[in-house]
Chains A and B, each alone.
Chain A
Amino acid sequence: MREFTDATDYEEDMEHIDSTILKDVLKRSSEYNPDVYTNRDVKSALSKDSLDSEDFGALLSPAAVPFLEEMAHRAREETRKHFGNSVIIFTPLYASNYCTNQCVYCGFGSRNKIQRAKLTGDEIDKEMEAIASTGMQEILLLTGESRIHSGPEYIEDLVKRATEHFSIIGLEVYPLNASEYNIMQKAGADYVTVFQETYDPKVYADMHPGGRKRNYSYRFNSNERALMGGMRGVGFAPLLGLADFRKDVFTCGIHAMEIQRKYPHAEISFSLPRLRPCMNKNLVANSVTESQLLQVAMAYRLFMPYAGQTISTRERPVFRDNIVNICATKISAGVSVGVGEHSGTENGDVQFDISDPRSLEEIKNSLLANGIQPVFKDYVRV
């Protein structure tokens, strides 16, 4: 297998950090075989107070499929113990869709002929005002991956503007160096999400034929660099459906667990993105069903009961309304995935299609009707 941790693979400006976690995670990933588990392994995992990685592997395996209802009860119990009945509401803001990568599954890919757009300072303010006026207090700032069109100084400016309107600021942008994450943290960012997309090195290479994202290990180490830069939390996920989802999820869980062990203060969260139709509609063949998605979410919950879990608008309302009652702890609302849609200032094309267009007010009311407490702010920056 190709050595991903070789510094010579890195572009000059990419920071190289210790690769112990990467090597260990790849090794454990290669040893995971979802087909070896039996009913007994699943029952044993479900009977434990605290689960190890073998238990996690069992709960992700096909052998756990007949146990979904039991897993749901356990998962709900753990969620309530750790998070009460609170669910955090946030919304993403797409500031730019320029991208230099060529991810074959993504609507923003640099070879796709889509309408590109990037918000100016005034437009950012207008978008943020429009979002904040709905009562939203947490924002996730997103850009396409282009250091040319949305360089670190653009992102820093975005974060600073967000602090005027929001209490909690997340970043979902291209991987940065630790010192750059530190600049963003000082500007007001709280957490960073970098999805590995797939942990399978071969599929990763096939899916990312060009651009900086082709470097597997620089991307893999992003969450650790974010913590080195002082971020409070980091989010993990594979894009479900690119490769064998069980293997990808297992690897992601091990990755998150090892990061938590090394950085015990870090707030860990998982996201649950499934591949959705975009311009490359032929790529949904590996697709993950709703019940498999739920199994994944519940396995994460039982393995790392203290980790947050975000459910995307890629899913339909009935699924989202129910999963917050089992294991998800964070839900987006009032989502628009095009650039400039909140204030109607500009119209870049969208990254993917969403399935739950409900407004903040609608999501809030639906949570309350479900006996769940919507939370708009969960952190105070001092």
Chain B
Amino acid sequence: MKNDLLDIGGHKFKSRFILGSGKFSLDMTRKVIENGGVEMATLAVRRANVGGMENILDYIPKGITILPNTSGARNADEAVRIAELARELGCGDFVKIEIIRDTKYLLPDNAETTKAIAKLKAKDFVILPYMMPDLSAARDMEEAGADAIMPLGAPIGSNKGLLTKDFVKILVDEIDLPIIVDAGIGKPSQACEAMELGVAAIMANTAVATANDPGTMAKSFKMTIEAGRLAYLSGLGRVLENRGEASSPLTGFLEE
């Protein structure tokens, strides 16, 4: 299991903990990244202050892959332009597509996202779309050129955990790309649960940012994500829930 690497569009990562950075004090960012063993962190392009005060780019340690997001985009064209801007800012070729037309729930628009993927693929981006876990949409996104699929676990910021568990599992089973749960993961135990399902990585932000001690919480996430991954790789043992094994066999008559 030593060579168990996360592969996103040919880029390899040891860490399966992707950090969302939008809800932190900037001076906490470095510590959280170090404690969480994080190798990839998001950056809201709309917040990047090039040449201005308090630039988040200055707080992300070198060697960390930056995952710029297109938050603020309301359609595919805006997302594409934000992605291009991120590249111009020196954020590299990764992009997390977020297209949201609803300020109340911040739920993603799968159809526009699929359009944006096709346009960004033509420009050689490494594309990670944030989406509602829907199998048809995920297939369209894969077809359009996505490098991973990022279904939400619960409404963003809600810390409610993996409410979409059954649908995420379908994506894990049916889609050949890494499935990364984004949004909703509120506790390390929930991250572990998602990893046990076979999810490739976890993205978390609010859960760490709103902890009393974000540094230690990041460490806890690192540990449970690794634990969940190991459980998945080792093949979970059989878990009997409500169904015990019937003592008198129903098929015994076959031997009569």
Chain A interfacial positions (CB closer than 8 Å to B): 77, 80-86, 135, 137, 260, 264-268, 304, 306, 364, 368, 371-380, 382
* Residue among A80, A376, A382 making CB contact with B210, cutoff 8 Å: A80
Tell yes or no: B25 within 8 A of A by CB.
Answer: yes
A162, B15: Cα distance in complex, Å: 44
Q: For residue A85, which residue of chain B has the nearest CB?
A: B25
Contact (A81, B74) CB under 8 Å given A264-B103, A373-B24: no
Distance in Å: Cβ of B248 to nearest Cβ of chain A = 47
* Residue among B54, B82, B205 making CB contact with A382, cutoff 8 Å: B82
For residue A304, which residues in chain B have a CB less than 8 angstroms away from its CB?
Answer: 104
Q: Is there contact, CB below 8 Å, between B206 and A81?
A: yes
| Residues of B64-100 whose CB lies within 8 A of A | 72-74, 78, 81-82, 85, 100
For residue B100, which residues in chain A have a CB less than 8 angstroms away from its CB?
Answer: 265
Interface size on B, residues (CB 8 A): 34
What 7 pairs across the A-B complex have the smallest Cβ distances? Answer: A84-B23, A382-B81, A380-B46, A81-B157, A264-B102, A373-B25, A135-B53
Q: For residue A373, which residue of chain B has the nearest CB?
A: B25
Q: Is there contact, CB below 8 Å, between B103 and A266?
A: yes
Q: Is there contact, CB below 8 Å, between A373 and B82?
A: no
Q: Is there contact, CB below 8 Å, between B52 and A135?
A: yes
Tell yes or no: B47 within 8 A of A by CB.
Answer: yes
A260, B157: Cα distance in complex, Å: 19
Q: Is there contact, CB below 8 Å, between A378 and B103?
A: no
Tell yes or no: B127 within 8 A of A by CB.
Answer: no
Contact (A378, B47) CB under 8 Å given A84-B23, A135-B52: yes
Q: Is there contact, CB below 8 Å, between B209 and A84?
A: yes
For residue B105, which residues in chain A have a CB less than 8 angstroms away from its CB?
Answer: 306
5 contacts between A and B (CB under 8 A): A84-B22, A85-B24, A85-B25, A375-B54, A376-B49
Q: Is there contact, CB below 8 Å, between A84 and B82?
A: no
For residue A135, which residues in chain B have a CB less than 8 angstroms away from its CB?
Answer: 52-53
Q: Is there contact, CB below 8 Å, between B101 and A265?
A: yes
Q: Is there contact, CB below 8 Å, between B54 and A376?
A: yes
Total A-B contacts with CB atoms under 8 angstroms apart: 82
Q: Is there contact, CB below 8 Å, between B24 and A377?
A: no
Contact (A260, B104) CB under 8 Å given A84-B209, A374-B54: yes
Q: Is there contact, CB below 8 Å, between A380 and B82?
A: yes
Contact (A265, B74) CB under 8 Å given A83-B23, A377-B46: yes
Distance in Å: Cβ of A355 to nearest Cβ of chain B = 25
Tell yes or no: B159 within 8 A of A by CB.
Answer: yes
Q: Is the interface of B mostly helix, strand, loop or mixed?
A: loop
A82, B81: Cα distance in complex, Å: 25
Q: For residue A233, which residue of chain B has the nearest CB?
A: B103
For residue A372, which residues in chain B have a CB less than 8 angstroms away from its CB?
Answer: 25
Q: Is there contact, CB below 8 Å, between B46 and A378?
A: yes
A219, B205: Cα distance in complex, Å: 40
Distance in Å: Cβ of A167 to nearest Cβ of chain B = 8
A377, B85: Cα distance in complex, Å: 15
Distance in Å: Cβ of A90 to nearest Cβ of chain B = 13
Q: Is there contact, CB below 8 Å, between A265 and B102?
A: yes
Distance in Å: Cβ of B10 to nearest Cβ of chain A = 28
Looking at A82, A373, A375, A376, which has the most chain B CB atoms within 10 Å of its CB? Answer: A373
Interface mask (B43-56 → A, CB under 8 Å = 1, otherwise 0): 00111110011100
Q: Is there contact, CB below 8 Å, between A377 and B82?
A: no
Q: Is there contact, CB below 8 Å, between B52 and A376?
A: yes
A379, B73: Cα distance in complex, Å: 10
For residue B101, which residues in chain A have a CB less than 8 angstroms away from its CB?
Answer: 264-265
For residue A374, which residues in chain B have a CB less than 8 angstroms away from its CB?
Answer: 54
Tell yes or no: B144 within 8 A of A by CB.
Answer: no
Contact (A81, B159) CB under 8 Å given A306-B104, A380-B72: yes
Q: Is there contact, CB below 8 Å, between A81 and B158?
A: yes
Tell yes or no: B26 within 8 A of A by CB.
Answer: yes
Q: Is there contact, CB below 8 Å, between B24 and A137?
A: no
Q: Is there contact, CB below 8 Å, between B23 and A382?
A: no
Looking at A77, A137, A373, A380, which has the most chain B CB atoms within 10 Å of its CB? Answer: A380
| Residues of B99-134 whose CB lies within 8 A of A | 100-106
Distance in Å: Cβ of A251 to nearest Cβ of chain B = 20
For residue B78, which residues in chain A have a CB less than 8 angstroms away from its CB?
Answer: 382
Q: Is there contact, CB below 8 Å, between A375 and B47?
A: yes
For residue B103, which residues in chain A have a CB less than 8 angstroms away from its CB?
Answer: 260, 264-268, 306
In addition to A77-B210, A306-B103, A380-B72, 8 A-B residue pairs with Cβ atoms within 8 Å of each other are A84-B22, A84-B210, A373-B26, A376-B54, A380-B46, A380-B48, A380-B85, A382-B82
For residue A265, which residues in chain B have a CB less than 8 angstroms away from its CB?
Answer: 74, 100-103
Q: Is there contact, CB below 8 Å, between B104 and A85?
A: no
Distance in Å: Cβ of B48 to nearest Cβ of chain A = 8
Q: For residue A360, which residue of chain B has the nearest CB?
A: B53
Q: Is there contact, CB below 8 Å, between B53 and A376?
A: yes
For residue A364, which residues in chain B have a CB less than 8 angstroms away from its CB?
Answer: 53
A183, B100: Cα distance in complex, Å: 24
For residue A306, which residues in chain B have a CB less than 8 angstroms away from its CB?
Answer: 103-106
For residue B106, which residues in chain A have a CB less than 8 angstroms away from its CB?
Answer: 306
